[in-house]
Structure 1
Amino acid sequence: MGAYADLPGVRTWYETEGNGDPLLLLHGGFCTNETWGAMRTALAAEYRAFLPERRAHGHTPDVAGPLSYRDMADDTVAFLETVVEGPAHLVGWSDGGVVGLLVAIDRPDLVRKVVVIGANYRPGPECFERPAMLDAMAPDSPDLALLRELYERVTPDGEGHWATVVTKLTDMWRTQPTLAPEEVARIAAPTLVMAGDDDMVTLEHTTALYRAVPGARLAVVPAASHLVPLEKPDLVSRLILDHLAQDTVETMMPIRRAAPETSRAAET
């Protein structure tokens, strides 16, 4: 079921499915809700899934001026307050993961648990495996053909607006986000950091994000790329559901999660 919410920043299209505790699914850049594919059904079987499409994506119109993660995070906060009417779990993929990190930092009262997939906390030139890919993202690029088709099928801005969206997003990726590890360390919600082992974001950056979030969990999916939710939806869904259901982590030989007194004893 789809509807529009008149938020302060932008009139936002969203869909809902399932019952239970609220779960926000935050799609990636250039994407629409269609890209959640089979995962949507699996997650909605356990939770009340909310799927907003961000400004300049899918059914949601673009706005004047440049795009920024901060504005999209503000839109998401407004959505949580207005539509969800309270805190929710956040599952963000790529750009949606960046938005999820910002919301978790700024509004911990609205966030229960967090999953970020292929997310980054620094600009693309600092953390992409191949930063030059930003220069190759032309509106008529064959690599963007499927995403262009999804966009043009539903956008209220008209097919001709695609070129503007490509320019705005690539400009944003070159300069944003600009979080410091100290800011990421403010995230209090239990967090799962996930990526494909051949992700466009370097594994070093993914690991740095994992280490910066207190008590975070890490999942690197083998034989997978930045599109891991499309490539291995069953596995990704299971990892998400396990994280959301598990309040504590108990392992046989904890190191990073060991109690301080246990850690000191192990060093002697």
Structure 2
Amino acid sequence: MKNADHQAGYAPVNGLEMYYEIHGTGEPLVLLHGAYMTVDAMGEILPGLAETRRVIAVELQGHGRTADVDRPITYEQMADDVAALLRHLGTEKADVFGFSMGGGVALQLAIRHPGLVRKLVIASASYTSEGMQPGLHEMLPSITPEMFAGSPIEAAYKEVAPNPGDFPTLVEKLKRLDITPFSWPAEDVRRIEAPAMIVVGDADAIRLEHAVEMFRLLGGGAMGDLAGFSKSRLVVLPGTAHFVPPGSGVLDRAGWLLPMVGGFLDAPVPETGPDAGSGA
């Protein structure tokens, strides 16, 4: 362990020894990385959020320092793992920031464990595989472990993974995750009570139309002048791709994102229920 505002450890959850780090102090926020990534790959987002919050940054099944186990990688299972980690840490409720695959995990966490989630930031993620760009669907079947040979992604994995030789297994499991069609019920998304901020780049792997659709399912899209603002927000980042080329991805826009995310998370949670807004 490190000092009080920077800790690292492993938690026994659902057959995993899940690696996590805790940065900063304040209200808890869970940070969920994308596919093939580690905690370190979240860039300036992590230290920026940790300036005002207790950030719980995890490494999901088979990623980074969390060794793989004999089961598929699925959004539902990863969400259950995160929920078990929060309970292990004694965290009753937290904000959640998820990028890409981590955004899908965050959505499933809010669907499957709603009591644990206060607010959501969903960056570059969808609730159905149809939300992804057609070009991405065309590319995914061609992915092989050899494509990553000598890449920073492979190097980062081998530097910290408990079993560095497992990288080809991670690639195959993530490929299966990505090419398997999924479509979570729109009604499940609509029932999410946590206020959500949907973030997408204007040249992202997620279709802009899908981001707008998800925003509407979460209560957004009405004319604020007449209907007031919803509990959710939509952010479209200009000139921004998913991850490459370097410097142009969503996570590279920390200078834009951190003030917007901070303002969203700091705002009071809107009242819900039949008496909300009635003055009762």
Bucket of the pairwise TM-score, normalised by the shorter protein: 0.7 to 0.9
Amino acid at match of 2:236: V
For 1:6, what is the secondary structure of its paired residue?
Answer: strand
Structure 2 residue 136 is matched with structure 1 residue 120: no
Change (3 A) 1:9 1:205: farther
Match runs of 1:4-23 below 5 Å = 4-23=10-29
TM-score (norm 1): 0.87
For 1:29, what is the secondary structure of its paired residue?
Answer: coil
Partner of 1:169: 174
Whole-angstrom CA distance in 2 between matches of 1:113 and 1:143 = 38
Q: Is the 8 A contact 1:9 1:75 kept in 2?
A: no
Partner of 2:239: 223
Partner of 1:150: 156
Whole-angstrom CA distance in 2 between matches of 1:143 and 1:209 = 36
Please report how far the alpha carbon of residue 222 of structure 1 lies from its aligned counterpart in structure 2 after TM superposition: 0.3
2:110 alignment partner, one of 82, 104, 113:
104
Please report how far the alpha carbon of residue 84 of structure 1 lies from its aligned counterpart in structure 2 after TM superposition: 4.4
1:46 alignment partner, one of 49, 52, 60:
52
Change (3 A) 1:185 1:9: farther
Please report how far the alpha carbon of residue 129 of structure 1 lies from its aligned counterpart in structure 2 after TM superposition: 3.6
For 2:146, what is the secondary structure of its paired residue?
Answer: coil
Q: Which has the higher helix share?
A: 1
Q: 1:182-241 deviations in whole A, cap 9, x for unaligned? A: 111011001000011100111111111111113421000001111334321111112211
Q: Which runs of 5+ in 2 are unaligned?
A: 1-6, 220-229, 244-248, 271-276
Amino acid at match of 2:268: D
Whole-angstrom CA distance in 1 between matches of 2:15 and 2:258 = 31
Structure 2 residue 191 is matched with structure 1 residue 186: yes
Change (3 A) 1:126 1:242: closer
Whole-angstrom CA distance in 1 between matches of 2:193 and 2:163 = 38
Q: Is the 8 A contact 1:39 1:229 kept in 2?
A: no
Partner of 1:254: none
**Could you tell which deviates more after superposition, 222-231 or 178-187?**
222-231
Runs of 4+ in structure 1 deviating by more than 4 angstroms, as ranges, are none
TM-score (norm 2): 0.83
Amino acid at match of 1:37: G
Amino acid at match of 2:65: H
Partner of 2:257: 236
Q: Is the 8 A contact 1:87 1:110 kept in 2?
A: yes
Q: CA RMSD in A?
A: 1.9
For 2:171, what is the secondary structure of its paired residue?
Answer: helix
Amino acid at match of 1:218: L
Whole-angstrom CA distance in 2 between matches of 1:144 and 1:185 = 43
Please report how far the alpha carbon of residue 128 of structure 1 lies from its aligned counterpart in structure 2 after TM superposition: 2.5
| Matched residue count | 248
Change (3 A) 1:132 1:89: same
